[in-house]
Each structure stands twice: as structure tokens, then as C-alpha cells.
Structure 1
Amino acid sequence: MSKNDEITVGGAPALQYSSSGSDHLSDEHEISKTDEKDVYAGEGKATVTVGAAGLSDLQVTGDDFIDAEKQVDSLSIEDTIAIMKQVKEFHQYDQNFPHNVMMRVNEFLDADDLTDPQYRELIHEMKVEAILVTENSPYAEVRAIVDNFDEPELAVSTFRAYLIGTLFVFGGAFVNQLFTNRQPSVVITANVAQLLAYPAGTGLAKILPDWGFNLFGSRVSLNPGPFNKKEHMLITIMATVGFQTPYTNNIIISQYLPIYFNQSYAGSFAYQILGTLSTNFIGYGLAGLTRDFLVFPGFCVWPASLPTVALNKAFHDGSDTPVYGPLGRLYSASKLKVFYVIFAASFLYFWLPGFLFQNLSYFNWMTWIAPDNIKLAAVTGGVTGLGFNPLSTFDYNQITVQLDPLATPVFSVLNNLFGMVVAGFMILGFWFNNIYETAHFPINSNKAFDNTGKRYQILKIIDEKGMFVYEKYQQYSMAYLGAGNAVVYIFFFAVYSATFSYVILFHRHEIVVGFKRLLRRRKQIDGPNLSDDIHMRLMRQYKEVPHWWYGLTMLAAMGCGFACVAAFETYTTPAVVIYGVLMALIACVPIGMIAAVTGIQVTLNVLAEFIGGAWVSGNALAMNYFKMYGYVTTAHTLFFANDLKLAHYLKIPPRATFTAQMWATLVSSFVCTAVLNYTLKIDNLCTADAPFGLTCPGINTFFTAAVLWGTVGPHRIFGPGGQYTLLLIGFPIGFISSFAYWYARKRAPTSKFIRSLHPVMIFTGGIYWSPYNLTNFLGAAYVSAFSWLYIRPRHLAFWSKFNYIVSAALAAGVAVASVIIFFSTGISERSVDWWGNEAYAAGCDGEGCVLQTVAKGEYFGPRKGTFL
């Protein structure tokens, strides 16, 4: 397109292109209209004036629109119709796909006679959209940061990449394992690794000699040239794999500590490493086997991966086009400069809520009025209460406990918020009405309690082998849940049944396509075909990893699992490994599909407990192993699938990714296990008196589940006549909800509101309670709404350029500051003693007061000896 050309859409001027020849727009330029978007294209000025009705709804930036316009004439109406039919087939239920675009697609496909002049504008729009979905991505957020081209000449598996990646795995695994039992937890993310890897990589590129040799016709060098984006992402993938702490540590800690099961053999390094290797590598094997469902399809966006890709592009993409944004200004700052500024601000600010002024973290200002008011603390408190407080925190670490608000699609966040609020009111109803004796316990605790309101003592109902003793149980107490925990179980049951019914109703087509892709593998399909997007087509030039590689990895890992269970006094059959893996095989695709679309993972822990507890009733340890191989391997599968998507977006050869992930996983497994051994020796670990905040909220939840599901058993808790049987109502509610939603979509296909709903995400919001609360989520909703609902529709180019960079910078700043605070003040137990660090923990919100107390020597509930 030449300078001063004009493109018309349907006969009406839609895009005016002119060159200013300078770095600034002319003074007379106006941007007051909301249908006008300005960008720089190359060295000249491009003004995209969307004057044609409907074109502004394509959610496309000026640069993407210009690129699409160049190819419009090459596309026939017949090809456009074929592509739009596939768009409808693939995206009619896709909440990430723009609603207004789908409405225009339906209008296009329903047109009686496309030769009628009235449809010229619509045809042009659909051709533009067809080019976007075939040559780029149907999602603006992916187009903004993922390149639709490849540079196969770039070196990937270099010496410097493995050196830096291995060092990062050591450091990140060490820190994350050390912090995993802290509340709130502090996690070093992949963005921190990316931040540090760039200067490390560029530095090695300058100092390493160019020593090398020829191997199979290619030269392998110690320094193959400038540090590039694929090396950088390979290091990041190694770091993300290595930074994931093994969930098996929950089992080990709950076995080893005297306050839990008190089984000393859990301190054995051999026992620990066998369990860790088995779950890690089974998950990795499953991730590879499910690539056709969770990695290759274009609809599998994996939103959590986008900030990582954005940061990589900021380091290596030299083109930083100025964009118009809020306040009618032109923003010419580079993405890398914005990252460093936001990172520095986040790093410096976190010292306030993280160390100097901790009241900003738990900003429970309402409880300061009357600290000893039990009801006020329960409703508005942010420590042990529910956090019904419109301004409950000024700590970015708190509001990102559940999700990243800038990366997670806004429909997921708002559905979560709705479910969380509904569950919150249910918790209040349970507590104030003493349903299931919940008034005797703190309202939002995740611990198990006995019939005096004290913490449940598991050792009183088991023998030396950890097995359930019925007579001891009858003389002690039934196990009770707090109000928050009881309601959470309802939502867990609902989310499981809703997940499977939702996937059957809304993703069955994608599952069929996945099986077809699995069968045909790398065979190319002629003609327009959206089952393989541009990124999949570009990846076809590289040798794929055979499925048998992943299958063999999984079998070897299962062998480690058999050894872990059989070689120690676990009183459990090794068959638990097989049953758990079968559960993971069934669940990982539906749960993975929802995670790939929504950015939020449905966890299988409660379902694994339910099935495992029923299978091995009375044996909490056997149930934990079932949970480990049913739930944990599924969680690891999705973590690794997300990393495979990162490699897919950056066009890293699959075999290079496979090797890097295997190595990083092996190194991380040994490092995390070593740190775990150190952690077990910390005095008062997992108690209120634990140093460095190592109070173990995750371990407490894990232990509570072990008591309920493994030792006492599901039949006593949820079976006929059980004390919590009515909570099972969540199963039918969740299952029916997906059908109700499907019916609503059919009845109102044009409703944007209904299309934005997601029953699985609503129920997922309900499981965010106990011990967390609205303090850990409401701020995320504010940030998400501002970014996705205010900035994105008004300033798409600005949002596309900076949203994910800001996300990466904020997270990196918090993570780095947390690590420095811990090692500079936490280990030495230094603190600043003043009101600003004490008020949040004062009174009932800090203590977790109860609504009803029990007189000394008395107890509530059924009489001893009459328990089920």
C-alpha cells in the first residue's frame, strides 16, 4: 500500500493511509471519536478510521488490519464462506471469541444473496476476519504478542541456555519450596527467570569463545551468536518446570510431623524422591500424550502463558510502535522500558505491605473500630473472616493469590467473583444459624475440629500403623468442618459434575477434532482448515516428539511410584498408582480444555479424595496415594501442557523442548526434596508459632481432607445417615447447571450477557474460600475490570502493547522483593514493631473467634458411642 492511498469498505472510506514523515502527529489531528484508532505503520502515520458499520467490532488493531487488507483480494467469497462456517463451528460457544464478531459471522452465513450490494461491507469485514483467523489468531490478545511467523535459523539448545536454565532451576526450586508453606505464599515466577536470563544470556554471548565442532552436517558452537528469543524462552520453560514444587510434599509433611500422622519413615530421602519423581514424570508423560487436545488447537490459548510471551517479545522485538491510549495521548515508550519502570515501582512498593506497613496487606479497617466484635470480624475481617470489605488490601501479592487479573480473561474473573459472593453468603447462613454446629468454630477455617470446638486430634483414632480404630473413634469425637469448609465442599462437588457436563455439551466437537488430529498426525489437509492454526502449521517443519517417548516416560515414572508404595510401611497396595493414573487419564482432557480457555484450573483433589476414600476406607495414607496419582499427576499434566504451549507459541522445536523439560524436572525434583528435608527440621513448623509465616495453610487443608476422607471415611461423612450427606447436593446442581446454561444459550443466542456466563467458573469461585477470602480476590476483580472492560474496548492498541508487560512486571517486582525481604529480615527475625504492623492481627479477626463456646467438660453433637 502506497502513501496517501485510501482503502474503501463497501464503497465507504474505511481506512485512510497517509505519511507524516515525522515522529509526531500533526496538531490538527483529532482523536475525539471512539471509532477512530491511530497507529504508526512502519515509518509513516496510519490513521484507521472505522467508518463502516460493524468493522470496529472486529477488535483489531490498526497494524493487524493493514496486514489483513493486503491479502483481502486474494480471498474468494467461496473460501470466505468455508472459513466462516468453520469459525462458527469452532467458536460459537467460545467466550474468548468476540461476541460482536460472531454476530456478524451469523449475519454473513444467513444472508440470502451475497451478490446484493447491501452485503458488500459485510463481505469485506468477513474477508478481513477470515485472513485474521487463518494467517494469525482469532484472539486479539494472542495477535498482540505472538508472532505469526518463524525464524528456524535461530539456535535453541545451546550451552549457555542449559547453563543458565540449570542454575535458575536450582535457585527457583530452592526458594519456591522454602516459601510454599508460607501464608500468603510467595512464588518466583517464570517472569523473574526471564528478567534475569536476558542479561545473563547477552553477557555470555559477549564473553564465551566461538568454539565448536560439526555434528551431522551442522556446526555446534559454544557461542553460536547473539542471544535470541528461542534460547530465552527455553530457559524460561526450564525455569517454569523447575519452579513447580512437588505436591507430594504435602503427604510427606503430614506424615512426618507429630501434629499430624507422626510417621518417622517419611523423613527418608529415598521415599521422598521416589514419590516426587513418579508424580512429576507421570504428569509430563500425560502432557505429551494429550498435546492434540490441549496444546495444538488454536482455541487453547492458555492465558497464563501470555505475560511470559509478552516479556520475551519485549526483550527481543526491536519494533516498538507508538500507540494512542488514555487521555488522548500518544505513548511512545518501549515495552521494555515500561517493564523496568513498573518492575521497579512494584519492587519498591512491596516493602510497605510486605514488611514496613503490613496493615496495607490485610486492610481490615472495619475491625479496627471494634477489634473484639465477633460478628464484625467474621463478616469483614481479612485474616480469619470473610473479607466483605470493598477496600480490603493494597497488596498486589494478596490479590493475585488465586489468579493473575491482567492475564485471566475477564469473563472468568467475574464469574469467579459471582460464585465467591454467593458462597460467602451461604457461609454466613451456615455460621449464624449454627448449621452442622459451625458456630463453634472460626467461620472460615480449613481445619478439622472435634466436638469441643478444638482442633481434631487424629492420633486419638488411629493405631501405630495409621489405621482407623473404631472403638477409639467412638470414645473421642466425630470430625467437624467450619462453615467455610462445609460450603466449599458443596461447590467442589458442583464444579466436578459441571465440568464434565459442560465439556460434553460445549467442547465435544473439539475432542472429536483432537482424536482426528491424533490419528492423522502430521498429514496436511488441503483447503481452508481451522483445526490447525498458523502456529501449528509453522511447527510442522520440525520433527515432532513421538508419543512412545512420552508413554515410556510415564511407565518409568509409574515404576518409581510402585517402589515408593511397596518398599516402605505404607500399608497400601501399589495398585493405587494404576487407579490414580487411570483417573488422571480420564480427567486431564476436560479439565485441561477448560483451563486452556478460561485460564483457571479445576483441581481434582476432592474428587480424588472421594473416590480414594471410598476405595480404602479407614486408611488415610492409602487415600493420600490415590489422591497423589489421581489429582497431583493431573495438575502436573496441565502445568507441563502450559509450558508446551509456550514452546509452541515461540516455535521451539518439540524435541528441544522435550529434552529441556526432562532435565529441568529431574534437577528440580532433587532440589525440592533436599529443601523439604531442611524444612522438616524447622521448629514449630505448621503451627501458629512457626517462624517466617510457615503456618502451612495447604498442609492444614490436606490434613483435614485426610481425616475426613481417608481415616473417618466418606461413608461416615457423606454416606447414608452421614453428618454431611446433604452437601452432596452439589453434584446434581453442577450437572444440571450446564444443561440449563446450554438451554439458555439456545434460547438467547444473541445475548452477550448469557454468552459471558460460565457455570464451571461460577462454581470455581465458590471453592476459593477457607482459608482465603474476598481479601484475596476482590482487588483482582477491580484490576481485571479496569483493564479488560475499560481500557481494552477503548484503546485496544495500547492494551495490546502494554497489558501483559505490566502483568509480568508487577508479578516480578513482588516476587523479587519477597525473596529479598525474607533473606534480609525473615531469617534474622527482624521486624518493625508498631501499630502499622500489628492492628490487622489484633482482636477477633486475628484470633478467629467463635460464635458459640462449649463449657468445660461438655461437648456438642451426638453422644459418644453412638457415632456412625
Structure 2
Amino acid sequence: MASSSEAMTVNSIFYLLGATSLTPASARHITGLRICLHATFPAYLPTTTSPSCITMNESHPGLEKNNSSEFSIEKAADLVDVNVVAVEIQAVPEDVLEAAEHAQTMSAAEIEAIIHCIVDEYGDDPNFPPVVLDAANRYLTDEDLRNQPAEYQRVYDELKIEAAMMAINSPYAEVRAVVDNHDDPREPVGTFRAWFIGTIFVAAGALINQFFSIRYPGIGVGSNVAQILAVPVGKLMELLPTTEFDTFGFTWSLNPGPFNPKEHMLITIMANVGFITPYTTNIIWIQYLPIYFNQPWALNFGYQILVALSTNLIGYGLAGLTRRFLVYPAHAIWPQNLATIALNRAFHREKASVANGWRISRLRWFSYCFGAMFIYFWFPGFICQALSYFNWMTWISPTNVALAAITGGVSGLGLNPLPTFDYNMLYFDPLVTPFFTTFNFFLGTLFTLPMIVALWYSNTWNTGYLPVNSNLIFDNTGQLYSVGSVVGSDTLFNQTMYESYSPAYLSAANALVYGAFFALYTATLTHAFLYYRHEIIHGFRSILSRRKTSDLHNDVHVRLMESYKEVPEWQYFLVLVFAIIVGAIGVGVYPTQTSPAVVLYGVFLAIIFVVPLGIINATTNVQIGLNVLAETIGGLWFPGNATAMNYFKSYGFITTSHALNFAGDLKLAHYMHLPPRQTFWAQIYATILSSFVCTAILNFQMTKIPDVCMPDQANHFICPDVNTFFTASVLWGTLGPKRMFGRGGIYNGLLWCFLIGAFLPIPFYLLRKRVKVLEFVYLPVILCGGLVWAPYSMAFVWPAVPLGYIFNVFIKRRYLAWWSKYNYVTTTAFSAAIAICALVIFFAVDWKGSEIDWSGNNRPFEGCDAFECARLPLPDQGFFGPGPGEFQ
């Protein structure tokens, strides 16, 4: 709370008790109003009164102690039972008191308008407090309520506070917990210090992530590492001289003052975009290496940097154009950002506060959690890996195929009530992710598990001859599909070789995943139209409107950002056009055997999906990838051309993914009130710097590492992800999806999932008001739960459910103050400790080949759960399905 709201008037206290029309003068001379004071504040009791509860029958000058008509927030909270109101609207007392103060300045018309807004704009928002939504619906539609004056007044008073809170703060407790609703525009942001630290970290992070991306086991650093390390470096740079310099009219200093949270967040945003390695490096690897397509010209640095810059900057250009849909609206909360802000807040000027009796600061709590997790992670990470893969049921009979397939956590389906003791094993962060997302995701995994079992046991599509939960592609002997057996010397598909070899087969789980993907894509579009059409239409109208952004989006952070100059849409559009041109040059000038138009085709796919996927991501913390759709369309559009399919996939899938990541960063800057133009140039600069560093390292890897990507490479640079990418390239680009999903294809029936997905959201939408439980069903997330399989399992999903319930339901409801102060700090500390501990383990022991050979590390990886046993033996003829010459 800012200093302007650190005290509340007596009038505000009486307002909370129901006297909604008092003036400051009459507040001290009211009769018939009973106030209960706690014994801890006896000074405020009249000297002639001993009970802790008094009735205001006359003027009580004791309430004007020290000639002041103000009480501190802490004392005011004791004078009235603010907690009752706070619980009703899911807010902490401090926010309620600040809202009550503002509510007195609002007219009845303003309050009515916001109450209607709650119903109209937030009626289908799963993050909006349901008790407030129910109260608003009741107030507007329940005629019986108007016949109960006392109850009617109570509901109205609560909604009045909520309306005031929405006017001066966020309507979401999650956002209010970490995001400040005040701002100081004078605070320096784009300082020399921030740019210097950001440059060093972006270059270092890009170097590490690119260099170790081809090693197995791999290693990588996330932006949370940079966020932590930036603090000591920033504090160290406070020792530099404060001398000011003038360069081209710009005044700057090596030390502009104390290292502040806005500088810190700018560095973090630079790390967010700079630590991402270009997706196109995978294409270049399989083009260049002799074991793949053997095209030496792909070593050309100009070609590499053109396609790298293009795919990265296109995503940023799209992100800027989606701000009216994904950044400005209050309902776009981007849950993952809240953990990042919580860590930032822990390191900078925190005001002392008490949260359900806890006085410990956020920074100290972060230190405790970080230290505890850093020590603990040595056990599942190195000493006893059974804590990660606790597949204890398979230990009963390791060679039991059915037991391993159903309960196993390594390659099985993970039906295990206690599958792990490793926080890092969770598929997503349950403390950051809203619980409705966690539970819907789990439901999707739970519903699809018996479907996989049914496919496997019925031997549908010959899945009984294959492992149940593998993401690999197999031939008709159950072995890995040999892409070299269907490709000629020209790297193009050879029909004769294919017919003498085998069709491609998928495991039961992998086949279901493709079906879930197909249903998800169409369901996402239908869901977005049904539930978010008003928001999408509003976003398009705002593009053409001449009104101010703050007039179009009733959000306190939009109003606060009016203090800074915004980046106009045309600048983002120029970035988009520049990236398209650069990509077309890279693909067209060099001998890729690909039309430059593939860049536009991929971008068109991204434009169609980026807003619907972005709204879902900003609401649920689940990002839906377009990789399968891009592979399918690209394979059909460019049959037999793996490189063309890969570029379509890059410009469709990665462009969308980058756009959503960058949009999330723009929201992060929006929450922290960073000047948009400084954020714009910081992201552009970090993206360009990272692209050049990664491309330079890529060239070093290709030319200086001996036997790179070979299975026996001495330093384990065996390129596992590149091998997977190459297999997918041949199957989807060379072999083509038509042979798998087209007419006569083995998996042709899965195409019906597109139609099923398109219509599935409709009954849920139509029945959501009649069947209460359907209001909590979020179909795209349920379908995303069906994407976990191959190679993940329920063992990665189920543990998040109890954790999510404990923190985001039980603690949040009963101990909201504690949750608001410590929840996001806790999970950020765990994540940061795991990331840094993993780095230490890698360089301290893994790099040297050290390991502990004992049962705690070996037992989980023994038996069928580790070796992916099939349920059925091969037929006597040595293969299943149609044999050579029996298929086309």
C-alpha cells in the first residue's frame, strides 16, 4: 500500500459497518451504532467505558485521541471486522480498506455500471471470484432480494467495495498479491546498468543454452537464474561513480542510484527472450550433417542468421499487434508472470507486514525455501533418483508387462497414487497455475487413460505389438522406424523402397495424442468464439478507435501506463514485415528447394490462432502448440519435401509460440509499469544479440566438435533432439501425413477428431448456466490433458492436484494474507533452487561421469517400465500388419 492509503478516516470505518452515507463530521456523533474494540487497543475506548464493545449513543471524544480523525490500517482493522468483508470478496483487509476509502468518491451510476460489467464481461471468466459473480447476478436478477432490505443492503455494500477495488486495483486476488497498483514514473529503467547487465546475461545464457543443447543429458539455464544473479551484480554496480555524462543529448550515469525493481525486471525480460535458442538450428543441423541430408552449403553464416532472425522477430511483431487482446485487458492475467514479479518484489523495498501471524519478510522466506530445495534436490537429482521415479508397484514384479504398462512412471501410464517426491517432475507449476486449470488438466489425463488401455488391449492399429506409451515411430517388426529405408540418395521419398519396407506405426498413447491434438485445434477456435467473442470483437474495434486505451480498457494498470509513451502498432508491423522479408530472402536465395512463400503460409497459420491461443494461455497458464497442425498441413502442402515442411512448421508453430512468450513479457512490463518504448528496444536488442550468439556457437559446434551428433561422441554431444527432429522431418515431410492419415492410411479414422473438437464445446456452453458444475469445465484444458502421453504420464500430472488444492484453494480461502504474501515466492524459490542445483550437479559430477551405483538409482530403471516391453509377441512370420508389397 502506498503512503496515501496507509490511513483511513473514521467515515470509512463506519461505511464498512453499514453507515454508507455519513459525512466526516457526523461520523463522530452518530447514535445507535455498535462498535467492538479489541482489548489490544484500549486507548481508543472512552475513559468512562470499560467493556470492549460500546454503543454510540452520544459523542465519544475518545475516538478523537491526539486530535486526529484517522486510524492506521492495522488499528482500523481491529475496530471493525474487516475480515468478514475480505473473505466475502476474496481480498486481504488492506485492499478492502483502500477500496472502501475510494468507494465514497464513486457515484451510484458508476457502481451500477461496474456491477453490470462484472456480469457481462466476467461471467465466463474462470479466474474471477465466483462469490462476487454470484452476488452480482443475485443483485441484478433476484427480485426476492429487493424485498429483504437488510440483505439487499449487505449485498450492495459488498459489491460497492468490489466495484471500488476494480476501479483502483485488479479484480483478481492473484494479481493484487504481487502487483502494485501505484507507480512512480520518475524511477529510472533503461539505465546503463540495466543494459550492461542484460547484455552480459543474454550473451552468456544464449551461449550456454546453444552449446549444451546437443548434449545428452542436456543442460540449460532459465531466466530465473538471471533474475537472481542480477541482484548482486546490480548492487555491486552501485559502487560505481555517480558522474553524469552527456551523449548525443542523452544524459546518463554509471550509477543512477540504488538498483531498483524496474531495472531488475527489464534485465529479466531481456533474459526471457534472449535465452531462447533459434528453432531453425534444428533445420540447419539436419541439412548440414552427412548422416542426415549432407548439404554443406547450410554452413553459410548469412543463411543461418537470416532464418534465425526471421523466426524470432516475426513472433515479436505479432506479439505487439495482439496487445489489445492479450496485454491491456484485465482478464489477461498471465499467471506465470506473477511468480516472476513475486521474486522481483522479494528483492526490493518490501514494507513490513503481518500475514496471518507471520512477520517474516518475503526475501527471508525465499532464502529459506531456496536453501531447503537446493539441499533436497541433490537426492532426486543425483543421490537417489527413485525419489523422482517412484514406480514402487513395478518393483513387485519388474517383468510383468501389464503392471509396468499401467502403473510405471518411466514409460508406463503412471497410474500410481504416490508417483514422485520430486517437485521438478511436475508437468506444470501447481502453485502458479489456477486450480481450475490443474484439475481440468488432470481430468483430461484421467479420461484418456482408459482409452489408451482399450486401444492397447484390443490391438487396434497393431498397438499391442508396441510399447503402450512411447513417442517413437516403429516399423512392422516393432523396431524403430528406419528413415533411411524410405529415402533415396537425393534425400527424397522413394516409393519402391517404402513398399519393400514398412508403414510407420504409432504406440497406443501416441496415436491418442494425435487425435487429441486434432480435436484441440478446432475446439480452441469454437471455444474462443463462444466464450471470448465479445473480447475479441472489442479488441478489433479498439484498433480502429480513436479513443484512449484507458477509455477502452477499465484497468488501473492501463491508466498508470498513460504516463509513458506507447509504441504504435505501425512499428510492430514494420518489425513483422522486416522479418518476413528477411526470412523470404534466406529461404529463397539459398538452395533450400523451398518457395519463399512458405514464410507467408506459416505466418497466416499463426495469425489465425495467435489470439485464441493467447487468451487461453493468459487465462489458464496452458500454452497450446501448433506443432502437429503445422506438420500435418506442411506435409500435405509440400509432399516429399522435408525442408519445406520444416520451414512451414517453423513459421507456423514457433512464430505462434514466440508471439505468446513475447506477449507474456509485454504483460510483465505492463504489470511492472516499465516504459513501453524501453521494453520494445530491450526485447528487440536481446533477440538480435541472442540470434547472433547462438548462430556463432552453432558454427563452432559444426566445425570444431569432432564426431558431433555421432552416437559414440566422446563428450556426449550426440544431438538427441536433432535426431528426433530429423525423424519427424522424414515422416511428416518426406513420407508425409497422407500415408498415415489420408484415405487408406492406418490412422485415417483420427481425422474425425477435427469434427468432434469443433462441436464439443457447444453443449458445454449452452448448458453451463443450467448445470452448475459445467461452469468449471474448461474444455481446451481438458483436451490438453490428453496431450501429456508419449512420453509423459499421469505420474507427472496427478501430484500437482493435491498441491494445487492445498495452496490455491485451502490456504487461499482460509489464509489469504499468507497466500498473497508467500505463495508465489515459495514456488519461485523452489524453481530457482532446482535450476541452479541442476547446473551445479551437471558441472560438478555429471560432466565428470560420476554416479552412485546403488538400488536407489537403479531400481526405477529396471524391468519393463524402463525397457518398454510390448504386450504381444511378433507373429511367426516375423512382422505384423501388411507385409512388403502388400501396401502402398
Cα offset for 1:744? 1.6
1:725 aligns with 2:758: no
**Match runs of 1:84-123 below 5 Å:** 84-110=115-141, 117-118=149-150, 119-123=152-156
Aligned to 1:320: 352
Tell whether the 8 Å contact from 1:499 to 1:591 is kept in structure 2 after alignment: yes
Aligned to 2:252: 220
Change over 3 Å in CA distance of 1:539–1:255 after alignment to 2: same
Aligned to 1:712: 735
Alpha-carbon distance in 2 for matches of 1:300, 1:692: 45
Aligned to 1:70: 101
Alpha-carbon distance in 2 for matches of 1:214, 1:589: 41
Higher mean C-alpha displacement, 274-283 vs 773-782: 773-782
Tell whether the 8 Å contact from 1:184 to 1:398 is kept in structure 2 after alignment: no
Tell whether the 8 Å contact from 1:488 to 1:766 is kept in structure 2 after alignment: yes
Alpha-carbon distance in 1 for matches of 2:173, 2:641: 51
Aligned to 2:464: 439
Change over 3 Å in CA distance of 1:480–1:551 after alignment to 2: same
Alpha-carbon distance in 2 for matches of 1:504, 1:70: 39
Aligned to 1:781: 801
Return the letter of the residue paired with 1:275. V
Cα offset for 1:58? 0.7
Change over 3 Å in CA distance of 1:549–1:254 after alignment to 2: same
Residue by residue over 1:522-545, the C-alpha shift from the partner in whole angstroms, topping out at 9 and shown as x without a partner, is 62676xx6x231101111221111
1:162 aligns with 2:184: no
Select the residue among 419, 435, 444 that pairs with 1:419. 444
Return the letter of the residue paired with 2:400. N
1:747 aligns with 2:770: yes
Tell whether the 8 Å contact from 2:370 to 2:833 is kept in structure 1 after alignment: yes
Alignment TM-score, normalising by the size of structure 2: 0.89
Alpha-carbon distance in 1 for matches of 2:83, 2:631: 56
Change over 3 Å in CA distance of 1:457–1:438 after alignment to 2: same
**Match runs of 1:155-304 below 5 Å:** 155-178=188-211, 180=213, 187-213=220-246, 219-256=251-288, 261=293, 263-304=295-336
Residue by residue over 1:429-475, the C-alpha shift from the partner in whole angstroms, topping out at 9 and shown as x without a partner, is 22222111112222211111111111111122123332212111111
Change over 3 Å in CA distance of 1:469–1:786 after alignment to 2: same
Alpha-carbon distance in 1 for matches of 2:223, 2:758: 36
Aligned to 1:644: 666
Return the letter of the residue paired with 1:76. S
SS in 2 for 1:212: strand
Aligned to 1:362: 389
Alpha-carbon distance in 2 for matches of 1:592, 1:758: 15
Alpha-carbon distance in 1 for matches of 2:408, 2:692: 40
Tell whether the 8 Å contact from 1:9 to 1:120 is kept in structure 2 after alignment: no
Aligned to 2:178: 145
Higher mean C-alpha displacement, 365-374 vs 794-803: 365-374
Tell whether the 8 Å contact from 1:261 to 1:459 is kept in structure 2 after alignment: no
Cα offset for 1:738? 0.9
**Match runs of 1:588-607 below 5 Å:** 588-607=610-629
Tell whether the 8 Å contact from 2:287 to 2:295 is kept in structure 1 after alignment: yes
Tell whether the 8 Å contact from 2:83 to 2:93 is kept in structure 1 after alignment: no
Cα offset for 1:704? 4.7
1:340 aligns with 2:360: no
Residue by residue over 1:594-617, the C-alpha shift from the partner in whole angstroms, topping out at 9 and shown as x without a partner, is 101111111111111121111111
Alpha-carbon distance in 2 for matches of 1:74, 1:564: 60
Return the letter of the residue paired with 2:762. F
Change over 3 Å in CA distance of 1:184–1:442 after alignment to 2: farther
SS in 1 for 2:563: coil
1:653 aligns with 2:678: no
Aligned to 2:423: 396
Cα offset for 1:41? 6.1
Return the letter of the residue paired with 1:435. T
Aligned to 1:478: 503
Tell whether the 8 Å contact from 1:297 to 1:533 is kept in structure 2 after alignment: yes
Change over 3 Å in CA distance of 1:240–1:372 after alignment to 2: same
Tell whether the 8 Å contact from 1:14 to 1:51 is kept in structure 2 after alignment: no
Change over 3 Å in CA distance of 1:428–1:271 after alignment to 2: farther
Alpha-carbon distance in 1 for matches of 2:370, 2:538: 42
Tell whether the 8 Å contact from 1:16 to 1:46 is kept in structure 2 after alignment: no
Residue by residue over 1:559-596, the C-alpha shift from the partner in whole angstroms, topping out at 9 and shown as x without a partner, is 22123322333221111011111111111111111101
Cα offset for 1:516? 2.2
Alpha-carbon distance in 1 for matches of 2:147, 2:83: 18
Tell whether the 8 Å contact from 1:697 to 1:771 is kept in structure 2 after alignment: no
SS in 2 for 1:495: helix
SS in 2 for 1:747: coil
Consecutive unaligned residues of structure 1, counting only runs of 5 or more, are 23-27, 30-39, 325-329
Alpha-carbon distance in 2 for matches of 1:212, 1:79: 49
Cα offset for 1:847? 1.4
Cα offset for 1:47? 3.8
Tell whether the 8 Å contact from 1:406 to 1:807 is kept in structure 2 after alignment: yes
Residue by residue over 1:206-242, the C-alpha shift from the partner in whole angstroms, topping out at 9 and shown as x without a partner, is 23442323765x7422211111111010001001111
Aligned to 1:766: 786
SS in 2 for 1:721: coil
Change over 3 Å in CA distance of 1:572–1:438 after alignment to 2: same
Aligned to 1:33: none
Cα offset for 1:254? 4.3
Return the letter of the residue paired with 1:414. F
Change over 3 Å in CA distance of 1:503–1:321 after alignment to 2: same
Alpha-carbon distance in 1 for matches of 2:448, 2:535: 32
Alignment TM-score, normalising by the size of structure 1: 0.91
Return the letter of the residue paired with 1:131. A
Alpha-carbon distance in 2 for matches of 1:574, 1:315: 48
SS in 1 for 2:879: coil
Alpha-carbon distance in 1 for matches of 2:644, 2:469: 28
Change over 3 Å in CA distance of 1:807–1:53 after alignment to 2: closer
Tell whether the 8 Å contact from 1:296 to 1:532 is kept in structure 2 after alignment: no
Question: Percent same amino acid at aligned positions?
Answer: 46
Cα offset for 1:372? 1.7
Select the residue among 538, 549, 561 that pairs with 1:513. 538
SS in 2 for 1:664: helix
Residue by residue over 1:751-806, the C-alpha shift from the partner in whole angstroms, topping out at 9 and shown as x without a partner, is 2x322110000000101111112222222223212211221111111101101001
Cα offset for 1:178? 4.5
SS in 1 for 2:189: coil
Change over 3 Å in CA distance of 1:158–1:712 after alignment to 2: same
Cα offset for 1:698? 5.2
Consecutive unaligned residues of structure 2, counting only runs of 5 or more, are 1-7, 20-31, 43-50, 53-70
Alpha-carbon distance in 1 for matches of 2:203, 2:516: 38
Cα offset for 1:833? 1.8
1:310 aligns with 2:342: yes
- How many residues end up aligned between the 2 structures? 839
Select the residue among 567, 572, 587 that pairs with 1:565. 587
Alpha-carbon distance in 2 for matches of 1:495, 1:13: 58
Cα offset for 1:697? 6.7
Alpha-carbon distance in 2 for matches of 1:856, 1:14: 90
Residue by residue over 1:694-726, the C-alpha shift from the partner in whole angstroms, topping out at 9 and shown as x without a partner, is 786755654454344322222221122211011
Cα offset for 1:732? 2.0
Return the letter of the residue paired with 2:116. K
Residue by residue over 1:304-328, the C-alpha shift from the partner in whole angstroms, topping out at 9 and shown as x without a partner, is 111001111122232131111xxxx
Return the letter of the residue paired with 2:792. Y
SS in 2 for 1:220: strand
Select the residue among 644, 647, 664 that pairs with 1:622. 644
Higher mean C-alpha displacement, 113-122 vs 803-812: 113-122
Change over 3 Å in CA distance of 1:697–1:745 after alignment to 2: farther
Alpha-carbon distance in 2 for matches of 1:14, 1:512: 50
